[in-house]
Amino acid sequence: MAEETPGIDIPEKGPFLVKGSVKYTDAEGNEIKTEKDVVALCRCGASKNKPFCDGAHSDIGFSGKKERTETYPTREYEGNELTVVDNIGICCHWGTCVDGAPDVFFEWDGDERISVPDGADKEKVIEVIRKCPSGSLVYKLDGDLQKEYFGDAEIFVSEDGPLHVRGGIQLSGDDQPVTNSHYTLCRCGASKNKPFCDGAHREAGFKG
């Protein structure tokens, strides 16, 4: 029998419930061991046993309701050798794009990020896009969408930041990432774009 695809269920007022065979890694690259069939990961920011849930969401009256009402179209920026596909609606503001290739990716004006694919060598642009943890940036080569970068199911717990979900872990619910290959989930409780990270952990001073 084929192994079941790992998935994440999201109760409205509770933790992320991870099911299936998934590797958990801490910010230093060490594997976090767990023997449970279903792993509850904190997303309210209040657990004293991070990254795991300890029930604190009930004590603080946490709600996982999405507060942001704006919607964002997926934009395509065509260059001579590749096309940048950009959906800032799930951007976690990690900064790998504007820091890694500032001549390609420009800070957005209001709600728009501008990309100039020919602003750097094709391989450099691809390298930077593949480092985008949220999956808001992907690319096309010869018209074919390139968005699958991770083979193994893994959840990387970043330092004082979001959960980096990799390797095709299926997310339940109506809000879906651009690609199940990689996306970022809020674990500070402050994102207005729940369940996705929107960078709010920085202003919230989240630690964990």
Name the pTM for this structure. Answer: 0.93
Beta strand 38-41 with 23-25: parallel, antiparallel or unpaired?
unpaired
pLDDT at 19: 96
Can you tell me whether residue 123 is helix, strand or coil? helix
Is the Cβ–Cβ distance between 150 and 169 less than 8 Å?
no
Residue 14 has pLDDT above 80, yes or no: yes
Q: 164-194: per-residue pLDDT in tens?
A: 999 999 999 988 898 989 999 999 999 999 9
**Residue 23: pLDDT over 60:** yes
What value does the mean pLDDT take over residues 15-30? 96
DSSP H helices, the chain, are 56-60, 96-100, 122-130, 200-204
Give the pLDDT of residue 107: 66
Instruction: Identify the pLDDT of residue 1.
Output: 41
> Which has more confidence, 88 or 124?
124
70 pLDDT band (50/70/90 cuts)? confident
Give the model's pLDDT for residue 47: 98
pLDDT score of 114 more than 90: no
pLDDT of residue 154: 97
